[in-house]
Amino acid sequence: MKLLLIILSTLFADANQLYSDGNYAEAAQAYEQIIAEQPNSEAYYNLGNAYFKQDELAQAILAYERCLRLDPRNKDAKYNLAFAQSRIIDNVEDNQMFFIKNWLQSIRNTMRETTWMILSIISFLIVLIGALLFALSKEQWLRKTAFYSGLVALFISICACANAGSLHSRDNNRAEAIITQGIVNVKASPDRSGTELFTLHEGTKVIIHETLGEWCNIHVGNNVGWMKLSSLERI
């Protein structure tokens, strides 16, 4: 284990030097090698930067997304991801519910699954303590405090548990993906002769609902359609 850490540390230093020297393609390969051995948020972040310097938006966005899966609080990765995404133009429509869903997901993504679960457990313990105080205390102010504190803690516990479950499902199903081809025509049916519904561009994030052979049914904004699996890469 110590030998592996030493090797990875050396590879990381070499990759950083390649990046500093402007050898972005070689740096990206070095970061990919590090990730293959031991995935970590810092390597993904640096990989995203190396790809961005080469104008490979899709791979940069994919790396930043994977970085944030491991470290949701990485402000630099969030900023760079938003900047990379700002360079994507898609002709897809969004409704109010889509924005609300994105807002809820942004809250969910502020912490990792384990952190949400710990928060849920702690909140539930507060609920139990509040219930105990409410049942045993004779002081009215203490009973009221315990009651309302318990309600708030119960709400937090439920929300935190829901977020943990949502993240667990997301990471296991890997339904989120990034378009990796320049331009993709999304069709009404999973075949070449299907009617073209709309167009997506490199770097756009989509949700995969189902797969059928070499095709997948995707959802983005208000839009649903079929595209080839080879046109995207799962986060």
pLDDT digits (tens, 9 = 90+) for 51-103: 999 999 999 999 999 999 999 999 999 999 999 998 887 655 555 556 677 78
pTM of the model as a whole: 0.84
Name which residue leads in pLDDT, 146 or 3: 146
Whether residue 178 is predicted with pLDDT greater than 60 in this model: the reply is: yes
Whether residue 45 is predicted with pLDDT greater than 90 in this model: the reply is: yes
Which pair of structure tokens corresponds to residue 3?
């030998």
Which pair of structure tokens corresponds to residue 143?
């009973």
To the nearest 10 degrees (0 to 180), the angle between helices 75-85 and 57-70 is 150
Helix H or strand E segment including 129: helix 113-136
Write the Ramachandran bin of 81: left for phi over 0, alpha for psi from -120 to 50, otherwise beta: alpha
Q: Indicate the average pLDDT of the chain.
A: 90
d(CA 71, CA 150): 31
pLDDT category of residue 108 using cuts at 50, 70 and 90: very high
- Tens of pLDDT, residues 154-172: 999 999 999 999 999 988 9
pLDDT at 227: 95
β-strand partners of 184: 200
d(CA 94, CA 102): 11
CB atoms within 10 A of CB 209: 12
The percentage of residues in the chain with a pLDDT greater than 70, rounded to a whole number, is: 93
**Closest by alpha carbon to 108, among 176, 59, 43?**
176
Which pair of structure tokens corresponds to residue 118?
């710990």
Which residues have a Cβ under 8 Å from the Cβ of 57 and sit 6 or more positions away?
51, 84, 87, 88, 202, 203
pLDDT at 102: 75
As a whole number of Å, the CA-based R_g of the chain is 23
Write the Ramachandran bin of 55: left for phi over 0, alpha for psi from -120 to 50, otherwise beta: left
d(CA 164, CA 138): 37
pLDDT at 190: 93
Whether residue 23 is predicted with pLDDT greater than 90 in this model: the reply is: yes
At 1 the three-state DSSP class reads: coil
